[in-house]
Amino acid sequence: MKKVSFLQTVIALVKKDAQLELRQQYALYGVILYMASTIFVIYLLHGRPEATMWNSLFWISQLFAATNAIAKSFLQESKGKLLYYYTISGAVPLITSKIIFHVGLMLCMNLISILLFALFLGNPVLYLPYFLLLSSAGAMGLAILFTFLAAIAAKAQQQAAIMAIMGFPLLIPQLLLLQKLSLVAFSSVVQQGFWQLWGTLLGFQFLVVALAVILFPFLWKD
């Protein structure tokens, strides 16, 4: 019997998640509708806000999108199904595939969110390529973090409470970093410590990935 490699296992699991998402299109459309409704309500309340407010509202909407799109990933899977995946693939390929799939999903949501913001709230961004790069990095970071939190919450009885309690102290530093770094896209002035902030953001994301890969096998042995 031919042994399946780690990469082949991860690719197969990512394909499985993509096929399930396409079959359950109502869930994906529901998240997009939620994003559009939220942005439209912001438009009704604030019109076209100035750049700093636009930036803050964008990251808040990204947080809500990640919560709705990713938090359900492990919670909607039955215990028997997760045990089956764990048995045939192992813990590390499973969490790796979930991270990759959610990163791809959040990158798509990020582009849709930028388009909706530009449509309803205007586009005060001066350096669009930089903002696209940073928002993509932010979307990846939120995807990784919420995947890790969802994996932990799925093993707890009070799932919603666990995600809120653990997510708050981990989300705040990342959102503050993203908000500060994205201000560069709205101004020609580069703030002091710019590259240190980028390094901190990437280091934080790498740390979450490492924690997920290391802790997930121990968590799912129970």
pLDDT tens, the chain, 222 aa long = 455 687 888 888 888 888 877 777 776 777 788 888 888 888 888 778 888 889 988 998 888 888 877 866 666 666 667 677 767 777 788 888 889 999 999 999 999 999 999 998 888 888 889 999 999 999 999 999 888 888 777 766 555 566 667 777 788 888 888 888 888 888 766 667 778 888 888 998 898 888 888 888 777 666
* CA 108/CA 112 separation, integer angstroms: 6
How many domains does the structure of the chain reveal? 1
Whether 162 maps to a domain, the answer reads: yes
pLDDT at residue 1, rounded to an integer: 42
Whether 1 maps to a domain, the answer reads: no
Q: Which residues touch 118 (CB under 8 Å, ≥6 apart)? A: none
Whether 182 maps to a domain, the answer reads: yes
Residue 77, sorted as left (phi over 0), alpha (psi -120 to 50) or beta, turns out to be beta
Amino acid identity of 80?
A: G
Whether 113 maps to a domain, the answer reads: yes
Cβ(221)–Cβ(86) under 8 Å?
A: no
pLDDT at residue 52, rounded to an integer: 87
Query: Which range marks the domain in which residue 124 is found?
Result: 6-219
Nearest to residue 105, comparing CAs of 67, 139, 71?
A: 139
Taking every pair of Cα atoms in the chain, the longest distance, rounded to a whole number of angstroms, is 63
* CA 186/CA 124 separation, integer angstroms: 7
Whether 130 maps to a domain, the answer reads: yes
Helix (H) or strand (E) holding 221: none
* CA 205/CA 141 separation, integer angstroms: 6
Whether 53 maps to a domain, the answer reads: yes
pTM, whole model, 2 decimals?
0.86
pLDDT at residue 110, rounded to an integer: 92
pLDDT at residue 4, rounded to an integer: 67
Nearest-5° Cα angle at 177, 175 to 180: 105
